Structure 1
Amino acid sequence: MGHQISRRTLFRTASGLAVAGTLGGALSACSGGTGAGSTSSDLTMTWWGSDDRHNAYKKALKYFQEKNPKIKIRETYSGYEGFFDKFNTNIAGGSAPDLLQMDTALVAQYARKGVLAPIDEYVGESLDLTGFSKTLLAAGTVDGKLYGVPSGIGVNQLTVNRSGLEELGLEFPDPEWTWTDLRKISQDVHKKSGGKVHGVDDVGGGALQAFEVFAREHGQTFFSDDGKKIGFTADTLQQWWEYWAEMRKLNACPPPAITSAAHNDLTKNAVVIGKALFTFDIGVYGAGGSITDAQLDFLPTPQGDGSGAREGNFVNGGVLLSATKASKRVADSVKIMSFFAQDTTAIKDMQLYRGIPPTEKARNLIASGLNETDKRNMAMADYISKRVSKAADVLPAPAPPPQGADQIWDLLFQSNLAVAFGKKSIKAQLGEFFDQAAGVLGG
């Protein structure tokens, strides 16, 4: 029951932004917030997730309605696949839900199309966001307005086969580790295992979450503020690819065939199949639980080398709760958002089913009921959150990604594979990456 959520995971497991590519056509008739909203007298709420998440929501909402008998809630829920296709259809037909669970990867596009209601006017009144950091709230903020309340902390971290390290007689790394430390321990893993196991999966060479941290350590963002351009330089990407080329040369990470096979298939992840002990793919311990029997632990994405290394890690908002602009029940929807954010019963009911809880109060409330791996997972998320909040030179949290981001993320992964398989030199692939990215973003 790990429940970490990231934009990388959303894209890899469900192609979250793929549905967003059709937003322009599907929503052209309702841009600006037109449409009837729900025709029922009940407040309609919809979300996606696992059966455990469904049951937790239903239990919490039953309690909410007992305390607020004038607000009747009609619930609909499903898995992620097809969720936003149905949402788009409902919007176009004037039957959008009043309240929905929103993907952080899509919030900017729906907000700018006039589908979502800004909720700033309720903050401090019926919407209690005590304990939410500004960094965390940025996940639901678009063009300076708040369109969604984060459900939890999404952090950039590695999942580690801790029992595998112990069997090789290797110490678990300090969380203040660096990219050099990752290279060193990955070499040690390969040597100690007699060449049978590598240190870290090469998913890092193309993973959004890992490279985004690396770019931020150089004072650069993944996308420009307006979302029309790539925000990092060719020099930064070159350094990144050179790092992973060296990792492959040193056998610190598996050969590219393993990397390629694991793309979009967690069952073939290098840690899951026993070919590596570290992975950047947090889905190995995600909303559906662990897909490996190994004892797992967690570490922040490494920092740059040296005592003056800039903080590159950041905190995002898991999933959001958002109200639709066409709804006549925005005020009631906001009450529900505040309920999930602050009510003790709701927090205990939801546990980790919407991510690591967003406030220290909430994390403390559920800590005693967690298993040991969940406790380690939440403790690391808390550690990263506090470290980021104390950093003096950290960049603001990334803005919600622009349309076309899914294509850029996949282009990064495929570019890394082209270099890894020797099909392209780093220099040649750099030029191709930036040319194609400019075409996608229109910059």
Structure 2
Amino acid sequence: MKKKLLLLLMLLVTSILIIACNGDEDTVGEDSEGTDNGSGEESNDEGSASEEEVEIRFAWWGNTERDKKYNEILDLYEEQNPNVTIIREPSTWNDYWPKLSTQVAGGNAPDIFGLHLLLYGNEYFTKDVIEPLDSYVDQGLVSLEGWDQSVLDAGTYNGDLLALAKGVTIQALITNKSKIEGLGLDAPPAEISYEDFKDYAATAAEALPDGEYVTVDPTLIGEHGIEMWVRQQGGSLLTPDGSALGFEKEHLTEYWQYWAEMREMGAVPPANISAEQAGVPEESTLFAQGKQLFQDRPTNQAKMFADLLGDAELAITRYPVMEDGEFRGGEQLQVPAIVMSQNSDVKEEAAKLLSFFVNDLEATKIYSAENGLPGTEPVRENLEGSLHPMDQKAVEHMNLVTEDIPKTTIRPEGAVQITELYQSYSEQVAFEQMTIDEAVDAFFEEAATILGQ
């Protein structure tokens, strides 16, 4: 298992890093008293009690279940460091990024905050708001012992180490196998083409009662779906330099048409229900309530849904493959990471906490691969035998997916404005406020203006 995890992680993250390195490219905490706390320094309650009182702001995205893990880890750190008080700033995914953008623009970023490298890496790496970690490594405040170099490279920009990964994951369809079989149907295979998935959805939709659906409408929950669709055809969301869209009008037309047909057959919820679902906590989603067969999410979230659904047997189905595409799959590997603000007034203490979060064996066991496969071998070894069954399935899924996808690329600056624009026009199509052709033309025209063409 150890070798399999290590080889898999090396394979996964190596593909990420062509662009993550862009310009250039904690002794692990022991689970014992008075020993290494994950920052490379020894700590005990007596020594910490006499130190200066410190407040550290820590922000992350997630849900109530993830919040519990964060709080348990941060409580543990406060117990070991009585002089430290951690101000916790959790948000849902949808609320997190606008809030963080506002804080950064106002010079009021949290001392430590989460950063999704695929989606927002370049957006923040180029804003000169993240504190490089190299000097704290040199001081022994941040430990890199046992870290895979490829994972470190993912958080490196212009030669500076800016971020440490909390895990590596990938988008998929979390599948309620028990509910499907309860309809008298067989669960789909681990891989299924777009056309076969549409046929399967039509059959399943007929078997479901009113108010229940086959899957989520990906056009209304973000840009992962369209990005995978164009990557399968040799394109990309944006060109590498961010100067233009990386796909053609016909790609977007065909994608929106595919999901309009799924909407018309009742396989996905009507636009108003999808819009309502976009902002609810995970426990309030149709999938978590047992009213949907598939949920479009990163594989690391499968265990959360397994816990929410109780006795239901879940599986992981690959996002539909494109048999006649340049690549069968278009998935992007995702690297949620943790960074420190350049404006922090408590940088040394923040560095210690950051290192503790990703290195300490007790802390990482609490976190339990919440964001995917850990990037450090000692942590992976410590988790062996304790991984959630759905995390085991996630490992198998990644083995399958990484065989036929294009290299993962970190999106260039400007991607956030384009994804927001895409979402706006997706909503207008779903609510039938514009035809697909009208929306495609308007999207391409406005995108060209944003990108400075």
List aligned pairs for 1:294-309, cutoff 5 A. 295=312, 296-305=314-323, 309=327
Cα contact 1:303–1:310 (8 A) shared by 2: yes
Task: Name the CA distance, whole Å, in 2 between partners of 1:161 and 1:167.
Answer: 10
Q: Is residue 2:401 matched to residue 1:396?
A: no
Task: Name the CA distance, whole Å, in 2 between partners of 1:246 and 1:96.
Answer: 43
List aligned pairs for 1:8-157, cutoff 5 A. 42=54, 44=56, 46-48=58-60, 50=64, 51-62=67-78, 73-80=84-91, 85=99, 98-104=111-117, 105-119=119-133, 127-128=143-144, 130=146, 132=148, 134=150, 138=154, 140-142=155-157, 145-157=160-172
What displacement does 1:277 show?
Answer: 1.4
Cα contact 2:241–2:412 (8 A) shared by 1: no
Paired residue for 2:244? Answer: 229
Instruction: Give TM-score scaled by structure 2 length.
Output: 0.69
Task: Name the CA distance, whole Å, in 2 between partners of 1:219 and 1:46.
Answer: 39
Q: Residue type of the partner of 1:271?
A: F
Task: Name the CA distance, whole Å, in 2 between partners of 1:300 and 1:136.
Answer: 28
Q: Residue type of the partner of 1:47?
A: A
What displacement does 1:303 show?
Answer: 1.7
Which deviations, in whole Å up to 9, do the C-alpha atoms of 1:278-325 show, x marking residues without a partner?
Answer: 23256996879866668244323222125974331122112x221233
Which deviations, in whole Å up to 9, do the C-alpha atoms of 1:44-67 show, x marking residues without a partner?
Answer: 45233654134232245358759x
Q: Is residue 2:231 matched to residue 1:216?
A: yes
- Match of 1:155, SS state, is strand
Aligned CA distance change for structure 1 residues 56 and 400 (closer, same or farther; 3 Å): farther
- Match of 1:159, SS state, is strand
Paired residue for 2:389? Answer: 375
Which deviations, in whole Å up to 9, do the C-alpha atoms of 1:58-98 show, x marking residues without a partner?
Answer: 245358759xxxxx6442212225897589668856x7665
Paired residue for 2:49? Answer: none
- Match of 1:77, SS state, is strand
Aligned CA distance change for structure 1 residues 406 and 326 (closer, same or farther; 3 Å): same
What displacement does 1:256 show?
Answer: 3.7
Q: Residue type of the partner of 1:113?
A: K
Cα contact 1:312–1:395 (8 A) shared by 2: no
Cα contact 2:233–2:325 (8 A) shared by 1: no
Instruction: Give TM-score scaled by structure 1 length.
Output: 0.70
Task: Name the CA distance, whole Å, in 1 between partners of 2:54 and 2:323.
Answer: 56
Task: Name the CA distance, whole Å, in 1 between partners of 2:329 and 2:238.
Answer: 18
Paired residue for 2:332? Answer: 314
Q: Residue type of the partner of 1:304?
A: M
Which deviations, in whole Å up to 9, do the C-alpha atoms of 1:117-155 show, x marking residues without a partner?
Answer: 2346778996427454747953x4556754211212342
Structure 1: gaps of 5 or more residues:
1-39, 67-71
Aligned CA distance change for structure 1 residues 99 and 41 (closer, same or farther; 3 Å): farther
Q: Is residue 2:361 matched to residue 1:349?
A: no
- Match of 1:304, SS state, is coil
Paired residue for 1:28? Answer: none
1:426 aligned residue (405, 425, 436): 436
RMSD value, Cα: 4.2
Paired residue for 1:163? Answer: 178
Cα contact 1:285–1:291 (8 A) shared by 2: no
Aligned CA distance change for structure 1 residues 287 and 269 (closer, same or farther; 3 Å): closer
Count residues in correspondence. Answer: 387
| Identity among equivalent pairs (%) | 21
